[in-house]
Amino acid sequence: MSLEAMSSPAAGPARQVERLAAIYGQVTELADGLTPASAMLPSRCSAWTVQDVLYHQLLDARRALVAFATPSAAAPDVDAVTYWQPFVASCDDAARHARYVRIAAAAYEVPMLAADWRRTSAAAVRAALACPHDAIATQGHTLAIGAFIDTLVVEAAVHYLDLTVSTPAAPAAHPPALALVREVLTGLAGSPMPAHWDDETCALKATGRLPVTEEENVTLGPAAGMLPLLR
């Protein structure tokens, strides 16, 4: 059944859910094609394999399921851009999470992890579509439902790029999802990203996954000192 056919006046924002379904679907397609060997290939995330990044994404889909069932009566205190501003984890916090992910991901056989992701991500998309709440609570914040879905899309789009670095034949990330990543990065920087960067290049360079040249730093201006805008 299509997203349009499933939508209702009480459903979550259809455009945001479409983007989420598309990028989650791409992660699922990649996960279903993993072998024990390809799952151990390096990702774009430092010290993480493809399997580690997929497990990290699974954690985000699980969090989404909880959030869609956690309505908030408070006014939203962050949006799809400002939500990301507090995520400047200390080195200790980042190291602890990286270690946890590596240990937990290693407990999975590859088909089991792919199946867990497939079921959980599909359930998260259905929950997004059916969510009757105007705002939800997650990670100490309240977000409007559409803004929350957008944060999930950004997370998944960037990590899809992490997952596919060792599989150059993988399809390009869903263009509307990458366009949203660019919007968020522009909002975080407070100024436009370089016009000659396509959306994928923007996502990779502004998040520190590809180096930025001196000429590009000049083009970025004050925003150059803010990179990486996301990790």
Query: How does pLDDT run across 181-204, given as a tens digit for each residue?
Result: 999 999 999 999 999 999 999 999
The answer to whether 39 and 50 are in contact (CB under 8 A) is yes
Confidence (pLDDT) at 90:
53
Contacts of 229 (CB under 8 A, 6+ apart): 84, 185, 188, 189, 206, 207
Q: Mean pLDDT in the chain?
A: 92
Length of the chain equals 231
Q: Is residue 54 a contact partner of residue 17, using CB atoms and an 8 Å limit?
A: no
Confidence (pLDDT) at 168: 86
With a CB cutoff of 8 Å and minimum separation 6, the contacts of 91 are: none
**Quick check: 69 pLDDT over 80?**
yes
7 pLDDT band (50/70/90 cuts)? very low
pLDDT at 191: 95
Q: Please compute the mean of the pLDDT values over residues 59-84 and round it to a whole number.
A: 98
Per-residue pLDDT band at 212 (split at 50, 70, 90): very high
Helix (H) or strand (E) holding 15, with range, is: helix 14-32
- Kindly report whether the peptide bond that precedes residue 228 is cis, defined as omega within 30 degrees of 0: yes
Q: What is the pLDDT of residue 100?
A: 95
pLDDT of 10-62, one tens digit each?
445 889 999 999 999 999 999 999 999 999 999 999 889 999 999 999 999 99
Percentage of the chain lying above the pLDDT 90 cut? 86
Q: How far apart, in whole angstroms, are the C-alpha atoms of residue 202 and residue 29?
A: 24
Q: How confident is the model at residue 88 (pLDDT cuts 50, 70, 90)?
A: low
Asked whether 156 and 57 are in contact (CB, 8 A), the reply is yes
CA separation, residue 180 to residues 46, 99, 173, 208 (Å):
24, 30, 12, 18
pTM for the full model? 0.93
Q: Which of 223, 231, 158 is nearest to 192 (CA)?
A: 223
Strands (E) in the chain, as ranges, are 135-138, 141-144
**What does the pLDDT look like over 107-136, one tens digit per residue?**
999 999 999 999 999 999 999 999 999 999
The two three-digit tokens of residue 57, written as one number: 């994404």
Tokens at residue 86, please?
């507090």
